[in-house]
Structure 1
Amino acid sequence: MKNYIKLTIFSLGIALFIYGCEVEEPHKPYGSDGVAPGTVTVDNVVNIPGGAVIYYTPPADVDVLYVKASFEDDRGRPREVKVSQVIDSIVIQGFGQVGDYNVTLNAVDRGENVSTSTDVAISPLTPPVQLIFPTLVGEVDFGGIKVSYENPLEAEVSLNVLVFDELQDEFVYRESFFTSQASGTYSFRGYEAVKTQFGVYVEDRWENVSDTIYFEVTPIPDEFLDKLLFSVFKIQGDKDFNDYGFNETQMWDNRWSDQWNCGHTDFITTLPHYLTVDLAVKAKLSRFKLYQRGGSELYKHGNPKRFNVYGVLDINSLPPYDANNPNAGWTLLRECESFKPSGLPVGQTTAEDYDYQNKGEDFDFDVDNLVEIKYIRIEVLENWGNINGTVIGELSFWGEISQ
C-alpha cells in the first residue's frame, strides 16, 4: 500500500512537470513585441574624408534599440557601426581610398528583431593619410632625421620610419610617432652618423597607409653626455633644488614621469629661478631634453613653461655677479617654451600629453651656431602652475664632445 501511494505521488509529480513545460511560454526580452521594426529612412548623406555621415529617420516602433550600418571597406573587410535609436545620424569612417561604396542600414529592437534593409551609397573623400602624405618633408637632424607634416583635419595618425637593412636587403620598420596635431615636426633619433636610407609613411587607426617618401642622409653626430658626471655648480643668484625632501641629483638619475623624483625649489622666491650645471666635459651641444615632474603634477605646479638656456666654457671667465644683469658673461643658447599637445587648460591632461612628456621634450640648438661649453645655466621665467616654485624631473644633453 505504501509503495502504491509513493508511485501515485511520483506519477502525479511527473505529470505536473510535463504539463508545466508544455504550457510555459518562452521568455522574451523586456519590452519586445516579437515583431520586426519598420525600415530606416535615409534623409541625407554628407561625404567626408575617408567616410561619410548618413542622416536618417528611424522607424517609429517604441521598442527600437539601435540602428546598425553594415558595409565593406575598400579592402573588402566587413565593418559594422551601431548607434542608439535617439541619434539621427551615423558616422562611417576608415576608408583608405576614394570611391563609391554601399552601406546597409537596419533598425534592431529589444528582441533583436531586425528591420528590412535600407541601402545607401556613399562616396568618401580623400582620406587623411593621403592628404598628409604630400606634406611630409624629411631632413637631416642630430642623430637622425626630422620630419615635418601638415594634418589640417587633426586626424589620429602615426608617422612610421623605415630604415634600409643591408643584411636583409630591404627596408625594415624601426619606430613610430603618434599625433593628432594640425601640424608639427618630430625628430627620429638614435642613429649613427653614417649614410643611411630612410623611408617615412603615414598610417591611421584603421591600418590605412600612404605611399612612402624615401631619402638618404648622414645624421649629424649626436653623443649622449654621461649624466653620472653632472653636478650642480651653485653661483650667486642660483636657487637650491633640494627642498621638501627632494634632491638635485634626481634631475639626472635616469628616472622621470615620477611625481616624487625631481629637483624642487622652495615657494618663496619669485621667478626667474636659476640653475647652473657642470657637465664635466667640453662639448658643442646639439640638443637637450627636459622631462617634467610627472604624475598628477604634469603640466602644472612648478614645471617650467618658458625658460632660457645659457652656456659658458670657463666659469672663471664670468664677471662679478650683478643682480641687474645676472646672465652677464653667459652665451644664450636657446629660448624655450614648453608645448602641451592637447592644448587643454592647466589641470587637464590627456594620454597624448603624458606620452609626449614621457619621451622628454626636445629642444634643439642652432646647428649653424654651435658653441663649445662646459657649464649650462637654466633661467626659468614662467611655470605651468603660475607659482613661485620650480620643479624639474630630468635633464639630458647631447652634442659633439671634445674632452
Structure 2
Amino acid sequence: MKNINKYSLQLFLGLLLIGIISCKRNDGFSTSPISTDKTKPGVVTNIKVDNFNGGSYITYTLPSSDNLLYVLAKYSIRDKVARETKSSYYKDTVEVNGFAESKDYQVTLYAVSKAEVMSDPVTVTVHPKTPVYQLVRPSAAISADFGGVNVKALNPLKRDIGVIVTAFNDVTKSMEVEEQHFTKGDTIDFSIRGFKSTSRDFGVYITDEWGNISDTLKKNLTPLYEELLDKSQFATYTQPSDDELYEGGGWTVNKLWDGSTDDPGWHTNSNSTPPFTCTFSVGKTYKLSRFKMWGRKGFEYGHGNPRDFSIWGSNKTLPADAALPITAPEGTVIGDWTNLGNYHWPAPPSGLPPTAINQSDKDFFNQGAEFNIPFNAPSVKYLRISIAKTWSGGTLAHIIEVSFYGKPE
C-alpha cells in the first residue's frame, strides 16, 4: 500500500539534503581561508527586511573592506533547529528561509573576511509571512475512494511541499505513513489504493523541504469496494469508425486483455489518422474507478505509444457507432457514447525530451501508467479508447495491455 512516487521522493530528499542536513547555503564562492589578514571586518549597516511566505530577504550595506568574502546569517527556524545562510560579497542581500511560523525571529548577521574572521554580530528581527505548508493545510481534504481514499489540496504559490497520508495499520495498531506525495503543482488531487472496504482511520498532513510539519487532518473513512474487471468477459465490439488493424504479427483488439505486457497488442495500420480508436465490451455494467495501461516496449516515449487520449463509454445495449472527435471535454455525449475522461501519459521523469530519454525513463514507462476515472462518470458496459496524439505524432497507434477496475452493478 506504500505507493511512494520514487522520482518525486528523490527530488524532495535532494532539497532536504541541501536545506536540512547541511543547514548551510553557498552562493558559489569558496569558504576556505584564502588570506592571512586577520583584521576583523566592520559590520553590515543600513539593514532592511522584506518578508515573504516562510522567510525574509535581508538587505544591507557592506562594510568597506578589501578583505571581505561573504555575509553569514545565523538563525533558528523552529525549536532546536538552527540554520546558516551565506551570501557573497558581490551581493547586498541574504535570504533566510524555512521558518515554521509567522512570528518574530532573530537573525544574527556577520561579515566574514577571506581569512574567515567574523565581524561583531548584528541582530535583526524578521517576521516571515505564513509558511507555505501552513497555507496549504486548510485546503486539504480527504474522502473515500475506490479501494482507498482521495486527497485534494491547493498550493497556489506552487512551492515544493509534501502531502503525507497516514492510515491505521491493523498489525502495528498505530497510524503509519502510506503515501508521500511531493509536488510544487498548484492543484493536488491523488488517490491511494489497496485497502479493504472496511472502516479505518486516515490522516493527512503537509510538510516542506525544511522538515516543518502541519497539524493532521483526521477522518474515519470506509474505502469503496472495487475489483479488477474480469478480462475473460471482455469481447471485441468493432465499430465502422474504428481504425483498421495492422496486418502483421497478430495485432488485434483482444490482445489488449490477454494478460501480457509484451508484443503483440492492439496496433492500427500505418496510414491511420487521429483519433486512433478501438471498441470493446467489458461483459457487464461497471462503475469504473481507474485503469492501467501499458505501452510498447522498445519504443518508450516514441512511435505509436499514446501520449494524449480519451476513454469513452456506453451502457446502452449494442451502442451505435459514432465518429469521435480528436478531443472533447470530459462528459461530452455523442450518440450513445460519453467521454469518461481525458488523459496524458506521464512525461519522462528525468525531464529529458522524449527523443533523448535515459534508462530510468524507459523503466518508468514500462511499468505502465495508472489513471483515475472521474467519480461522477456514468456506469458503462462498453468502452472506446481514442488516442488523439502519439509520442511520435505519426499516423499509427498501439497499446499492449489495459486493466480496468471498478464496482459491478
TM-score norm. by structure 1 comes to: 0.72
Question: Corresponding residue for 1:154?
Answer: 158
> Is this contact kept in 2: 1:307–1:337, CA < 8 A?
yes
Of 50, 75, 81, which residue of structure 1 is paired with 2:79?
A: 75
Distance of aligned partners of 1:233 and 1:369 in 2 relative to their CA distance in 1, 3 Å threshold: closer
TM superposition shift of 1:398: 0.5
Any conservation in 1 of the 2:293–2:370 contact (CA below 8 Å)? yes
Q: Distance in 1 between matches of 2:74 and 2:392?
A: 48
Q: Deviations over 1:232-279 (max 9, x none)?
A: 7766544477699997758986869xxx99976566322111133565
Corresponding residue number in structure 2 for 1:117: 121
Alignment partner for residue 362 of structure 1, among 332, 355, 371?
A: 371
Pair 1:399 & 2:402 matched:
no
Equivalent residue for 1:138?
Answer: 142
CA contact (8 A) 1:264 1:392 kept: yes
Corresponding residue SS for 2:87 = strand
**What corresponds to 1:288 in structure 2?**
291
- Structure of larger gyration radius: 1
CA positional deviation for 1:45: 0.7
Contact 1:128–1:155 under 8 Å retained in 2: yes
Query: 1:382: how far off?
Result: 3.8
Identify if the C-alpha distance between structure 1 residues 200 and 30 changes in structure 2 by more than 3 Å, giving closer, same or farther. closer
SS in 1 for 2:86: strand
> Does residue 1:58 correspond to 2:68, yes or no?
no
Counterpart CA distance in 1 for 2:34 and 2:189 is 55
Between the two proteins, what is the percent identity of the paired residues?
A: 29
**Is contact 2:275–2:324 with CA below 8 Å preserved after alignment?**
no
1:323-353 CA deviation, whole Å, 9 max, x = no partner?
Answer: 69999875325131438799xx994899xxx
1:238 to 1:184, Cα distance in 2 relative to 1, 3 A? same
Shift in Å at residue 39 of structure 1?
Answer: 2.4
Q: How far apart are the structure 1 equivalents of 2:239 and 2:226?
A: 29
Matched, 1:390 2:397: yes
In structure 2, what is the Cα distance between the partners aligned to 1:245 and 1:89?
65
> d(CA) in 2 for partners of 1:92 and 1:388?
53
Q: How far does residue 121 in structure 1 lie from its aligned partner after superposition?
A: 1.2
Structure 2 Cα separation of the partners of residues 359 and 207 of structure 1? 32
Aligned counterpart, 1:197: 201
Unaligned runs of 5+ in 2: 1-31, 327-332
Letter in 2 for 1:305: D
Distance in 2 between residues matched to 1:309 and 1:177, nearest whole Å: 29
TM-score of the aligned structures, taking structure 2 as reference length: 0.71
Q: 1:96 corresponds to which residue?
A: 100
For residues 184-333 of structure 1, the aligned pairs below 5 Å read: 184-225=188-229, 236-239=240-243, 268-277=271-280, 279=282, 283-290=286-293, 298=301, 303-311=306-314, 317=318, 331-333=337-339
CA 312–356 in structure 1, closer or farther in 2 if over 3 Å, else same: farther
Distance 2:73 2:264 in 1: 50
Aligned residues: 363
Stretch deviating more after TM superposition (196-205 or 265-274): 265-274
* 1:293 to partner: Cα distance: 7.2
Contact 1:162 1:173 in 2 (8 A): yes
**Once the two structures are superposed, what CA deviation does each residue of 1:283-324 show, in whole Å capped at 9, x if it has no partner?**
44222244677999659985332424234687xx355x6769
> Aligned equivalents of 1:347 and 1:199: distance in 2?
37
Cα shift at 1:62: 3.6
